[in-house]
Amino acid sequence: MNILVVGVNHNKTPIQIREKVSFTESKKIEAVNYLLDRGIREVCILSTCNRSEIYIASNCVNDDINIVKNFYKEFFKLDNMDEYLFIKYGKEAVSHIYVVAAGIDSVVLGEDQILGQVKDALQFSMELGASKKILNKLLREAVTAAKAIKSELKISEIPLSTSYIGIKFLRERLGTLKGKKAFIIGAGKISTLSLRYLAEEELEDIYITNRTHGKLKKVCFEFPKVKTVKYEDRYEVLKKVDILITATSAPHTIITSDQMSKLNKKLYIMDLAVPRDVEKTVGNFENITLYDIDDLKKISEENMNKRIELCEKATKVIEQDVEEYINWMKQIKVDPVIKSLNEKCKDIQDDTLDYINRKLQLNSREKKIIEKMLGSALRRVIREPIRNLKEIKEKEDMENYIEVVNQLFDF
Protein backbone atom coordinates (compact mmCIF):
# COMPACT_ATOMS: atom_id res chain seq x y z
CA MET A 1 0.00 0.00 0.00
CA ASN A 2 1.30 3.45 -0.92
CA ILE A 3 0.17 7.09 -0.74
CA LEU A 4 -0.21 8.93 -4.03
CA VAL A 5 -1.26 12.51 -4.78
CA VAL A 6 -1.92 13.85 -8.28
CA GLY A 7 -3.30 17.28 -9.07
CA VAL A 8 -2.77 20.93 -9.84
CA ASN A 9 -1.94 23.83 -7.55
CA HIS A 10 -0.71 27.40 -7.59
CA ASN A 11 2.96 26.33 -7.68
CA LYS A 12 2.82 25.03 -11.22
CA THR A 13 -0.55 25.84 -12.76
CA PRO A 14 -1.91 29.25 -13.86
CA ILE A 15 -5.30 30.38 -12.62
CA GLN A 16 -6.97 29.96 -16.02
CA ILE A 17 -6.28 26.23 -15.78
CA ARG A 18 -6.94 25.90 -12.04
CA GLU A 19 -10.41 27.37 -12.37
CA LYS A 20 -11.26 24.79 -15.04
CA VAL A 21 -10.36 21.84 -12.83
CA SER A 22 -12.09 22.93 -9.64
CA PHE A 23 -14.54 20.47 -8.06
CA THR A 24 -18.09 21.18 -7.02
CA GLU A 25 -19.65 18.67 -4.59
CA SER A 26 -21.44 16.89 -7.44
CA LYS A 27 -18.21 16.73 -9.44
CA LYS A 28 -16.43 15.26 -6.43
CA ILE A 29 -19.01 12.50 -6.21
CA GLU A 30 -18.63 11.75 -9.93
CA ALA A 31 -14.85 11.78 -9.62
CA VAL A 32 -14.81 9.46 -6.62
CA ASN A 33 -17.10 6.97 -8.36
CA TYR A 34 -14.98 7.11 -11.52
CA LEU A 35 -11.80 6.32 -9.58
CA LEU A 36 -13.26 3.65 -7.30
CA ASP A 37 -14.90 1.92 -10.27
CA ARG A 38 -11.45 1.55 -11.81
CA GLY A 39 -10.01 -0.28 -8.83
CA ILE A 40 -8.53 2.50 -6.72
CA ARG A 41 -8.97 1.57 -3.04
CA GLU A 42 -9.29 4.94 -1.28
CA VAL A 43 -9.78 8.49 -2.55
CA CYS A 44 -9.92 11.97 -1.03
CA ILE A 45 -10.22 15.16 -3.10
CA LEU A 46 -8.95 18.51 -1.82
CA SER A 47 -10.32 21.32 -3.97
CA THR A 48 -9.75 25.03 -3.18
CA CYS A 49 -9.26 28.17 -5.24
CA ASN A 50 -5.53 27.42 -5.44
CA ARG A 51 -5.45 23.63 -5.71
CA SER A 52 -7.31 20.54 -6.91
CA GLU A 53 -5.50 17.52 -5.52
CA ILE A 54 -6.52 13.85 -5.51
CA TYR A 55 -5.11 11.73 -2.68
CA ILE A 56 -5.10 7.97 -3.12
CA ALA A 57 -4.24 4.88 -1.09
CA SER A 58 -2.67 2.95 -3.92
CA ASN A 59 -2.00 -0.74 -4.50
CA CYS A 60 -0.07 -0.05 -7.69
CA VAL A 61 1.35 3.46 -8.05
CA ASN A 62 2.07 3.37 -11.79
CA ASP A 63 -1.37 2.02 -12.71
CA ASP A 64 -3.15 4.48 -10.42
CA ILE A 65 -1.16 7.44 -11.78
CA ASN A 66 -2.38 6.57 -15.27
CA ILE A 67 -5.97 6.21 -14.03
CA VAL A 68 -5.90 9.67 -12.43
CA LYS A 69 -4.21 11.29 -15.42
CA ASN A 70 -6.85 9.79 -17.73
CA PHE A 71 -9.53 10.99 -15.34
CA TYR A 72 -8.34 14.61 -15.59
CA LYS A 73 -8.26 14.41 -19.39
CA GLU A 74 -11.70 12.81 -19.71
CA PHE A 75 -13.42 14.71 -16.91
CA PHE A 76 -12.18 18.23 -17.68
CA LYS A 77 -11.59 17.82 -21.44
CA LEU A 78 -8.09 19.29 -21.27
CA ASP A 79 -5.61 17.58 -23.59
CA ASN A 80 -2.55 19.41 -22.22
CA MET A 81 -3.13 18.44 -18.57
CA ASP A 82 0.14 16.51 -18.30
CA GLU A 83 2.20 19.71 -18.32
CA TYR A 84 0.28 21.07 -15.32
CA LEU A 85 -0.20 17.96 -13.19
CA PHE A 86 2.18 17.28 -10.31
CA ILE A 87 2.66 13.72 -9.05
CA LYS A 88 4.03 12.67 -5.66
CA TYR A 89 4.01 9.28 -3.98
CA GLY A 90 5.39 7.57 -0.91
CA LYS A 91 7.03 9.73 1.72
CA GLU A 92 6.91 12.79 -0.56
CA ALA A 93 3.12 12.51 -0.88
CA VAL A 94 2.69 12.05 2.87
CA SER A 95 4.87 15.08 3.56
CA HIS A 96 2.88 17.11 1.01
CA ILE A 97 -0.47 16.86 2.82
CA TYR A 98 1.16 17.72 6.15
CA VAL A 99 2.74 20.82 4.60
CA VAL A 100 -0.52 21.77 2.87
CA ALA A 101 -2.62 21.41 6.04
CA ALA A 102 -0.15 23.59 7.98
CA GLY A 103 -0.44 26.38 5.39
CA ILE A 104 3.23 26.15 4.44
CA ASP A 105 2.38 25.47 0.79
CA SER A 106 -0.20 28.27 0.57
CA VAL A 107 0.00 31.47 -1.48
CA VAL A 108 -0.13 33.38 1.83
CA LEU A 109 2.50 31.59 3.88
CA GLY A 110 1.11 30.09 7.08
CA GLU A 111 -2.57 30.92 6.45
CA ASP A 112 -5.18 29.05 8.47
CA GLN A 113 -8.07 28.62 6.02
CA ILE A 114 -6.59 25.55 4.34
CA LEU A 115 -6.75 23.61 7.63
CA GLY A 116 -10.56 23.74 7.63
CA GLN A 117 -10.62 22.84 3.95
CA VAL A 118 -8.54 19.70 4.58
CA LYS A 119 -10.90 18.69 7.41
CA ASP A 120 -13.92 19.24 5.13
CA ALA A 121 -12.33 17.22 2.33
CA LEU A 122 -11.76 14.28 4.67
CA GLN A 123 -15.29 14.47 6.11
CA PHE A 124 -16.82 14.54 2.63
CA SER A 125 -14.73 11.56 1.50
CA MET A 126 -15.62 9.58 4.63
CA GLU A 127 -19.33 10.24 4.09
CA LEU A 128 -18.99 8.79 0.58
CA GLY A 129 -17.13 5.77 1.94
CA ALA A 130 -14.19 6.67 -0.30
CA SER A 131 -11.68 7.31 2.47
CA LYS A 132 -10.91 4.44 4.83
CA LYS A 133 -8.18 3.32 7.21
CA ILE A 134 -5.14 4.60 5.27
CA LEU A 135 -6.32 8.05 4.17
CA ASN A 136 -8.40 8.65 7.29
CA LYS A 137 -5.29 8.17 9.40
CA LEU A 138 -3.16 10.30 7.05
CA LEU A 139 -5.45 13.33 6.90
CA ARG A 140 -6.41 13.18 10.58
CA GLU A 141 -2.75 13.13 11.56
CA ALA A 142 -1.99 15.99 9.14
CA VAL A 143 -4.82 18.06 10.66
CA THR A 144 -3.64 17.29 14.20
CA ALA A 145 -0.07 18.31 13.31
CA ALA A 146 -1.32 21.52 11.66
CA LYS A 147 -3.37 22.42 14.74
CA ALA A 148 -0.33 21.93 16.97
CA ILE A 149 1.82 24.09 14.68
CA LYS A 150 -0.84 26.79 14.59
CA SER A 151 -1.15 26.77 18.39
CA GLU A 152 2.57 26.71 19.16
CA LEU A 153 4.13 28.81 16.39
CA LYS A 154 1.20 31.18 15.60
CA ILE A 155 2.53 31.79 12.06
CA SER A 156 -0.72 33.33 10.78
CA GLU A 157 -0.77 35.90 13.60
CA ILE A 158 2.23 37.70 12.12
CA PRO A 159 0.57 40.31 9.86
CA LEU A 160 1.50 40.70 6.19
CA SER A 161 -1.35 42.97 5.05
CA THR A 162 -0.27 46.61 4.67
CA SER A 163 -3.70 47.65 5.96
CA TYR A 164 -3.32 45.67 9.17
CA ILE A 165 0.32 46.67 9.59
CA GLY A 166 -0.65 50.31 9.01
CA ILE A 167 -3.33 50.25 11.73
CA LYS A 168 -1.00 48.46 14.14
CA PHE A 169 1.74 50.98 13.30
CA LEU A 170 -0.57 53.90 14.11
CA ARG A 171 -1.75 52.26 17.33
CA GLU A 172 1.85 51.94 18.47
CA ARG A 173 2.57 55.60 17.64
CA LEU A 174 -0.56 56.93 19.35
CA GLY A 175 -0.54 54.49 22.26
CA THR A 176 -4.19 53.62 21.65
CA LEU A 177 -6.81 54.22 18.98
CA LYS A 178 -9.72 54.00 21.41
CA GLY A 179 -11.76 57.21 21.42
CA LYS A 180 -9.91 58.63 18.40
CA LYS A 181 -11.48 59.94 15.20
CA ALA A 182 -10.39 58.59 11.82
CA PHE A 183 -11.00 59.59 8.22
CA ILE A 184 -10.65 57.17 5.28
CA ILE A 185 -10.39 58.32 1.67
CA GLY A 186 -11.08 55.61 -0.88
CA ALA A 187 -13.52 52.72 -1.22
CA GLY A 188 -11.30 50.07 -2.76
CA LYS A 189 -9.91 46.87 -1.26
CA ILE A 190 -7.16 48.46 0.86
CA SER A 191 -9.47 51.20 2.21
CA THR A 192 -12.24 48.71 3.04
CA LEU A 193 -9.74 46.42 4.76
CA SER A 194 -8.39 49.36 6.76
CA LEU A 195 -11.93 50.26 7.76
CA ARG A 196 -12.57 46.69 8.89
CA TYR A 197 -9.51 46.78 11.15
CA LEU A 198 -10.37 50.26 12.46
CA ALA A 199 -13.89 49.07 13.32
CA GLU A 200 -12.31 46.74 15.90
CA GLU A 201 -10.44 49.57 17.65
CA GLU A 202 -13.38 51.31 19.44
CA LEU A 203 -12.89 54.68 17.78
CA GLU A 204 -15.25 57.53 18.59
CA ASP A 205 -16.00 58.33 14.93
CA ILE A 206 -14.98 57.03 11.52
CA TYR A 207 -15.57 59.15 8.41
CA ILE A 208 -15.19 57.97 4.84
CA THR A 209 -15.31 59.54 1.39
CA ASN A 210 -14.57 58.64 -2.20
CA ARG A 211 -14.43 60.56 -5.43
CA THR A 212 -17.36 58.50 -6.80
CA HIS A 213 -19.93 58.42 -4.02
CA GLY A 214 -21.76 55.37 -5.41
CA LYS A 215 -18.99 52.98 -4.28
CA LEU A 216 -19.62 53.99 -0.68
CA LYS A 217 -23.08 52.37 -0.59
CA LYS A 218 -21.64 48.88 -0.22
CA VAL A 219 -19.20 50.04 2.45
CA CYS A 220 -21.93 51.80 4.43
CA PHE A 221 -24.17 48.75 4.24
CA GLU A 222 -21.45 46.67 5.89
CA PHE A 223 -20.47 49.40 8.36
CA PRO A 224 -23.63 51.39 9.16
CA LYS A 225 -21.95 53.47 11.91
CA VAL A 226 -19.42 54.96 9.49
CA LYS A 227 -20.19 58.54 8.46
CA THR A 228 -19.90 59.46 4.80
CA VAL A 229 -18.77 62.92 3.74
CA LYS A 230 -18.54 64.69 0.42
CA TYR A 231 -15.23 64.31 -1.36
CA GLU A 232 -14.87 68.09 -1.78
CA ASP A 233 -15.19 68.53 2.02
CA ARG A 234 -12.18 66.31 2.78
CA TYR A 235 -9.94 69.18 3.95
CA GLU A 236 -12.59 70.34 6.43
CA VAL A 237 -12.85 66.85 7.91
CA LEU A 238 -9.08 66.79 8.49
CA LYS A 239 -9.48 69.57 11.05
CA LYS A 240 -11.47 67.34 13.43
CA VAL A 241 -9.88 63.90 13.09
CA ASP A 242 -6.75 62.32 14.58
CA ILE A 243 -6.02 59.89 11.75
CA LEU A 244 -6.22 59.99 7.97
CA ILE A 245 -5.85 56.80 5.97
CA THR A 246 -5.92 57.20 2.23
CA ALA A 247 -5.67 54.54 -0.47
CA THR A 248 -7.17 55.70 -3.75
CA SER A 249 -6.21 54.77 -7.30
CA ALA A 250 -5.87 58.44 -8.30
CA PRO A 251 -2.94 59.10 -10.66
CA HIS A 252 -2.10 62.32 -8.80
CA THR A 253 -1.99 63.59 -5.22
CA ILE A 254 -5.39 64.33 -3.65
CA ILE A 255 -4.09 66.03 -0.48
CA THR A 256 -1.76 68.91 -1.34
CA SER A 257 0.13 71.50 0.68
CA ASP A 258 -1.53 74.48 -0.95
CA GLN A 259 -4.98 73.26 0.12
CA MET A 260 -4.02 72.33 3.68
CA SER A 261 -4.98 74.60 6.57
CA LYS A 262 -3.06 75.03 9.79
CA LEU A 263 -4.17 72.41 12.31
CA ASN A 264 -4.59 72.95 16.04
CA LYS A 265 -4.33 69.25 16.90
CA LYS A 266 -2.11 66.31 15.96
CA LEU A 267 -2.94 64.53 12.71
CA TYR A 268 -1.35 61.23 11.73
CA ILE A 269 -1.57 60.45 8.02
CA MET A 270 -1.09 56.94 6.64
CA ASP A 271 -0.79 57.09 2.85
CA LEU A 272 -1.23 53.54 1.52
CA ALA A 273 -1.64 54.54 -2.13
CA VAL A 274 0.75 53.92 -5.01
CA PRO A 275 1.25 56.44 -6.50
CA ARG A 276 0.98 58.47 -3.29
CA ASP A 277 -2.21 60.33 -2.45
CA VAL A 278 -0.59 62.88 -0.15
CA GLU A 279 1.97 65.43 -1.31
CA LYS A 280 5.26 64.83 0.49
CA THR A 281 5.54 68.43 1.74
CA VAL A 282 2.31 67.99 3.73
CA GLY A 283 4.47 66.16 6.25
CA ASN A 284 6.34 69.41 6.95
CA PHE A 285 3.25 71.04 8.44
CA GLU A 286 3.14 71.61 12.17
CA ASN A 287 1.12 68.90 14.00
CA ILE A 288 1.15 66.58 10.96
CA THR A 289 3.04 63.30 10.88
CA LEU A 290 3.02 61.62 7.46
CA TYR A 291 3.75 57.96 6.78
CA ASP A 292 3.66 56.17 3.43
CA ILE A 293 3.89 52.62 2.10
CA ASP A 294 7.70 52.61 2.35
CA ASP A 295 7.48 53.08 6.11
CA LEU A 296 5.49 49.83 6.26
CA LYS A 297 7.51 47.93 3.69
CA LYS A 298 10.33 47.15 6.11
CA ILE A 299 7.85 45.86 8.71
CA SER A 300 6.11 43.72 6.11
CA GLU A 301 9.43 42.25 4.92
CA GLU A 302 10.49 41.56 8.52
CA ASN A 303 7.16 39.86 9.17
CA MET A 304 7.51 37.73 6.05
CA ASN A 305 10.98 36.68 7.18
CA LYS A 306 9.53 35.76 10.58
CA ARG A 307 6.88 33.63 8.86
CA ILE A 308 9.53 31.94 6.72
CA GLU A 309 11.61 31.23 9.82
CA LEU A 310 8.63 29.78 11.68
CA CYS A 311 7.66 27.70 8.63
CA GLU A 312 11.15 26.21 8.65
CA LYS A 313 10.60 25.21 12.28
CA ALA A 314 7.20 23.78 11.34
CA THR A 315 8.80 21.75 8.56
CA LYS A 316 11.15 20.09 11.06
CA VAL A 317 8.19 19.20 13.26
CA ILE A 318 6.38 17.81 10.23
CA GLU A 319 9.38 15.66 9.26
CA GLN A 320 9.06 13.78 12.53
CA ASP A 321 5.28 13.36 12.12
CA VAL A 322 5.77 12.08 8.58
CA GLU A 323 8.27 9.48 9.79
CA GLU A 324 5.77 8.29 12.40
CA TYR A 325 3.08 7.89 9.74
CA ILE A 326 5.48 6.06 7.40
CA ASN A 327 6.37 3.66 10.24
CA TRP A 328 2.66 3.11 10.89
CA MET A 329 2.19 2.33 7.20
CA LYS A 330 4.96 -0.26 7.41
CA GLN A 331 3.47 -1.81 10.51
CA ILE A 332 0.00 -2.26 9.07
CA LYS A 333 1.51 -4.58 6.47
CA VAL A 334 1.72 -7.17 9.23
CA ASP A 335 -1.99 -6.72 10.10
CA PRO A 336 -3.12 -9.66 7.93
CA VAL A 337 -0.43 -11.86 9.52
CA ILE A 338 -1.48 -10.76 13.03
CA LYS A 339 -5.11 -11.43 12.16
CA SER A 340 -4.21 -14.90 10.87
CA LEU A 341 -2.15 -15.68 13.99
CA ASN A 342 -5.00 -14.58 16.25
CA GLU A 343 -7.48 -16.66 14.25
CA LYS A 344 -5.11 -19.67 14.49
CA CYS A 345 -4.94 -19.25 18.28
CA LYS A 346 -8.71 -18.92 18.46
CA ASP A 347 -9.20 -22.14 16.48
CA ILE A 348 -6.75 -23.98 18.76
CA GLN A 349 -8.49 -22.56 21.82
CA ASP A 350 -11.95 -23.57 20.58
CA ASP A 351 -10.81 -27.11 19.63
CA THR A 352 -9.03 -27.59 22.97
CA LEU A 353 -11.98 -26.31 25.01
CA ASP A 354 -14.35 -28.51 23.05
CA TYR A 355 -12.15 -31.56 23.84
CA ILE A 356 -11.87 -30.66 27.56
CA ASN A 357 -15.61 -30.12 27.88
CA ARG A 358 -16.27 -33.53 26.34
CA LYS A 359 -13.82 -35.31 28.64
CA LEU A 360 -14.48 -33.49 31.93
CA GLN A 361 -17.56 -32.50 33.84
CA LEU A 362 -16.92 -28.83 34.60
CA ASN A 363 -19.21 -26.15 35.96
CA SER A 364 -19.55 -22.78 34.23
CA ARG A 365 -17.04 -21.09 36.56
CA GLU A 366 -14.39 -23.75 35.89
CA LYS A 367 -14.99 -23.52 32.14
CA LYS A 368 -14.54 -19.73 32.28
CA ILE A 369 -11.24 -20.04 34.19
CA ILE A 370 -9.83 -22.60 31.78
CA GLU A 371 -10.95 -20.53 28.78
CA LYS A 372 -9.17 -17.44 30.13
CA MET A 373 -6.00 -19.33 31.06
CA LEU A 374 -5.82 -21.06 27.68
CA GLY A 375 -6.44 -17.82 25.78
CA SER A 376 -3.77 -16.02 27.81
CA ALA A 377 -1.24 -18.79 27.24
CA LEU A 378 -1.79 -18.79 23.48
CA ARG A 379 -1.48 -15.00 23.31
CA ARG A 380 1.85 -15.23 25.15
CA VAL A 381 3.13 -17.54 22.45
CA ILE A 382 2.48 -15.04 19.63
CA ARG A 383 3.03 -11.78 21.54
CA GLU A 384 6.81 -11.55 21.05
CA PRO A 385 6.80 -12.57 17.35
CA ILE A 386 4.11 -9.94 16.66
CA ARG A 387 6.05 -7.24 18.54
CA ASN A 388 9.24 -8.11 16.68
CA LEU A 389 7.44 -8.03 13.34
CA LYS A 390 6.10 -4.52 14.09
CA GLU A 391 9.54 -3.24 15.00
CA ILE A 392 11.18 -4.25 11.73
CA LYS A 393 12.18 -1.03 9.92
CA GLU A 394 13.37 -2.23 6.52
CA LYS A 395 10.57 -2.85 4.04
CA GLU A 396 12.33 -5.80 2.37
CA ASP A 397 13.07 -7.48 5.71
CA MET A 398 9.46 -7.12 6.80
CA GLU A 399 8.14 -8.62 3.57
CA ASN A 400 10.56 -11.56 3.93
CA TYR A 401 9.48 -12.24 7.51
CA ILE A 402 5.80 -12.00 6.57
CA GLU A 403 6.36 -14.56 3.83
CA VAL A 404 8.19 -16.89 6.24
CA VAL A 405 5.42 -16.68 8.84
CA ASN A 406 2.78 -17.35 6.18
CA GLN A 407 4.68 -20.44 5.01
CA LEU A 408 5.39 -21.75 8.52
CA PHE A 409 1.79 -21.46 9.66
CA ASP A 410 0.35 -22.34 6.25
CA PHE A 411 -1.73 -19.17 5.99
Q: What is the pLDDT of residues 120-150, one digit of tens each?
A: 999 999 999 999 999 999 999 999 999 999 9
Q: Give mean pLDDT, residues 235-244.
A: 96
CATH topology of domain 2-158: Beta Polymerase; domain 2 (3.30.460)
CATH 3.40.50.720 domain extents, the chain? 162-298
User: Is it the case that residue 176 has pLDDT exceeding 80?
Assistant: yes
Q: Give mean pLDDT, residues 366-389.
A: 86
Q: Can you give the pLDDT at residue 347?
A: 87
Q: Can you give the pLDDT at residue 400?
A: 79
338-368 b/e (C-beta count within 10 Å ≥ 16 → b): beebeeebeeebeeebeeeeeeeeeeeeeee
Across the beta sheet with 42-47, the strand order is 42-47, 51-58, 2-9, 86-89
Q: Give mean pLDDT, residues 241-251.
A: 94
User: Is it the case that residue 22 has pLDDT exceeding 90?
Assistant: no
CATH 3.30.460.30 domain extents, the chain? 2-158
CATH code: domain 162-298 is 3.40.50.720
Residue from 49, 220, 311, 345 carrying the catalytic annotation = 49
In angstroms, the CA 267 to CA 287 distance is 6
pTM of the model: 0.70
pLDDT digits (tens, 9 = 90+) for 184-201: 999 988 999 999 999 999
Q: Can you give the pLDDT at residue 395?
A: 67
pLDDT digits (tens, 9 = 90+) for 111-128: 889 999 999 999 999 999
In angstroms, the CA 134 to CA 70 distance is 24
In angstroms, the CA 46 to CA 138 distance is 13
In angstroms, the CA 78 to CA 73 distance is 5
Q: Can you give the pLDDT at residue 143?
A: 97
Pick 108 or 64 by higher pLDDT: 64
Long-range contacts of 316-319 (CB under 8 A, 24+ apart): 317/145, 317/148, 317/149, 318/95, 318/98, 318/99, 318/102, 318/104, 318/145, 318/149, 319/95
Mean pLDDT value across the chain? 90
Q: Give mean pLDDT, residues 197-212.
A: 92
374-408 b/e (C-beta count within 10 Å ≥ 16 → b): beeebeeebeeebeebbebeeeeebeebbeebeee
Helices (H), 223-276: 234-238
Q: Give mean pLDDT, residues 347-369.
A: 89
Peptide bond into 224 cis (omega under 30): no
Q: Does 345 qualify as catalytic in the annotation?
A: no
